[in-house]
Amino acid sequence: MIVVTGNSYKFAQIQEFFPNAEQKKLDLIEIQSLDAQEIIRHKVDQARQVVSGELLVEDTSLICEGLNGLPGPFVKFFLQSVECQGIWQMAKNSGNTQAQAITTLGYCSSAGKIILAQGTIKGHIVEPRGTGHGWNALFQPEGAEMTYAEMPEGEHYQWNMRVKALQVLQKQLS
């Protein structure tokens, strides 16, 4: 299976579930949509034009209830514009810091059959704490006492939405 991602951390997580996977970096155009499944299907279609055989793409969203679902799949752009502190301020000012981190996977078989899988972690947007990639410093999973950025590597695994999505996909493929 070819995993289309430029992120080595994401690829390492995927490889734990699919040890024979290979990474391919492609610049895929992300369509503007709040529908993660629509985004994933578009990514699969683009990747199929370049990759033959089995492939896997992913997209991760940060859904803030107080912001009517934003930043959602646009979280990367929010981080570039207002950074973690800005997302925290918007969520706090909304009066509702409840959030969900959602990873959507799109698997495409050699025959072209597409399977979608999602993993969700509920939590809260908090004042940024710790150091880490992307929005890890401002998301605290429900039941956890730390943000992703504060968690030791092993502990982060049990709260990971990508891991949950990969577990769902593995079941669907078996």
What's the whole-number mean pLDDT along residues 143-165? 88
Query: If residue 100 lies in a helix (H) or strand (E), which one and from where to where?
Result: strand 98-108
Give mean pLDDT, residues 119-132.
94
Q: What are the tens digits of pLDDT across the range 16-70? A: 999 999 999 988 888 989 899 999 999 999 999 999 899 999 999 999 999 999 9
Domain count, the chain: 1
> Over 80: is that where the pLDDT of 94 sits?
yes
Question: Structure pTM?
Answer: 0.91
Task: Name the residue range of residue 127's domain.
Answer: 2-173
The CATH number of whichever domain residue 74 belongs to comes to 3.90.950.10
pLDDT band at 153 (very low <50, low <70, confident <90, very high): confident
Residue environment code for 124-154, b if the CB has 16+ CB neighbours within 10 A, otherwise e: bbbebbeebebbbbbbbbeebebbbbbbeee
Q: Residue 59: which residues within 8 A CB-CB, separation 6 or more? A: 30, 36, 39, 40, 43, 73, 103, 104
How confident is residue 158, by pLDDT bands cut at 50, 70 and 90? confident
Tokens of 13: 């997580």
Which residues lie across from 120 on neighbouring strands? Answer: 102
Residue 151 phi/psi, 5° resolution? -75, 140
**pLDDT exceeds cutoff 80 at 80:** yes
